[in-house]
Amino acid sequence: MAIAEAHKNQGFLFIASLVFSLLILSNSLVLWIGWVWFYNSDMNGWWMIVLFSYAVIDLVYAVVFTAAIQSARCVTIKAVVIYNALLSVLLFLQGYCEYYYRHKIDWLSVNSGTVKLTLFQEIIVRNNVWAWLYGSFLLGAIVLWFIQNQRHELVRRMSILLAHLLKWEYQPERRGGSWKDTIRTQRQRIALCLRKTPSLKASLIDADWQADVWDDAVDNAIKETGIARKVFPKACPWSNEQIMSLDFYPD
């Protein structure tokens, strides 16, 4: 059904997020080892600041991202965007540091420590580029996941709303304040969902989407009322305007 379909990709994306967090943690470990390795060398200043800052950001981000990924909310996207923005800035600073040391220091007379640092820089640059590319890919996946989650939310809310409208129409003797509150709440939540993701408005006029949601709603109504399926309409008898109207209650 439509609700079940909305969950298919969540497991894959959660695993991808954990893999990304592990990559970030491993990269952070390499950075920390490098920071300690070169702590007593003469290569300090900008490079040391970048190295230290990037390691801290990696550790923090790995924890934040793993926690945020479990709730497909805006905070997830914000975390990825902020991280990639900071990563881009740090990559720029790192490139500046490499430029500075390559052009301001006589590399023919460098000691073994600076040669090690040069090799370490090249390794980190490669790691960071791959991390940035993977992060950008995952950002796109998270955006799609967020939209899919909002679509799932829309389906779930609409299914509950339609089921309660059916119950309201076919069980008038059981009408009460709780049903009315549920109907009003679902309408408000659906409106909020559409404001968050305006692109989902197209789903409301999609015939296949409407059919799937209606099937879910009828299934829920059958479970809660015990009324046979043949009693309910095969297709939704109300317009979207009626469904979303705060004053509409079918008789």
- Burial of residue 195 (number of CB atoms within 10 Å: 0-12, 13-18, 19+): exposed
What pLDDT shows up at residue 110? 44
Contacts (Cβ under 8 Å, ≥6 apart) of 56: none
pTM (predicted TM-score): 0.54
**Alpha carbons 1 and 8: distance in angstroms, whole number:** 11
- Of 17 and 160, which is predicted with more confidence? 160
Helix (H, G, I), strand (E, B) or coil at 105: coil
Q: How confident is the model at residue 189 (pLDDT cuts 50, 70, 90)?
A: very high
Tell whether the model's pLDDT for residue 239 goes beyond 50.
Answer: yes
**pLDDT (tens digit per residue) in 39-96:** 445 445 555 555 556 556 655 655 555 555 444 444 445 555 555 555 555 555 555 5
**Alpha carbons 188 and 203: distance in angstroms, whole number:** 17
**Alpha carbons 1 and 127: distance in angstroms, whole number:** 42
Phi-psi region of 206 (alpha: psi -120 to 50; beta: other; left: phi over 0): beta
Query: Among residues 147, 168, 162, which one has the least CA distance to residue 240?
Result: 162
Tell whether the model's pLDDT for residue 105 goes beyond 50.
Answer: no
**pLDDT (tens digit per residue) in 206-226:** 899 999 999 999 999 999 999
User: What are the domain boundaries of the chain?
Assistant: 2-148, 150-244
What pLDDT shows up at residue 114? 47
User: What are the Cα distances from residue 204, in Å, to 106, 198, 250?
Assistant: 67, 11, 20
H helix or E strand, kind and range, residue 248: none
Q: How confident is the model at residue 124 (pLDDT cuts 50, 70, 90)?
A: low
What DSSP letter does each residue of 180-241 carry, written as one string? HHHHHHHHHHHHHHHHH-GGGGGGGG-HHHHHHHHHHHHHHHHHHH---GGGS-SS--S-HH
What average pLDDT does this structure show over 27-32? 56
Q: Which two tokens stand for residue 228?
A: 């046979």
What average pLDDT does this structure show over 7-22? 54
Name residue 52's amino acid: F
Q: How confident is the model at residue 196 (pLDDT cuts 50, 70, 90)?
A: confident
- Helix, strand, coil in percent for the chain, rounding step 5: 80, 0, 20
- Burial of residue 121 (number of CB atoms within 10 Å: 0-12, 13-18, 19+): buried
CB 93 within 8 A of CB 134: no
What average pLDDT does this structure show over 5-18? 51
**Alpha carbons 164 and 211: distance in angstroms, whole number:** 17
> How distant is the alpha carbon of residue 52 from its chain centre?
28
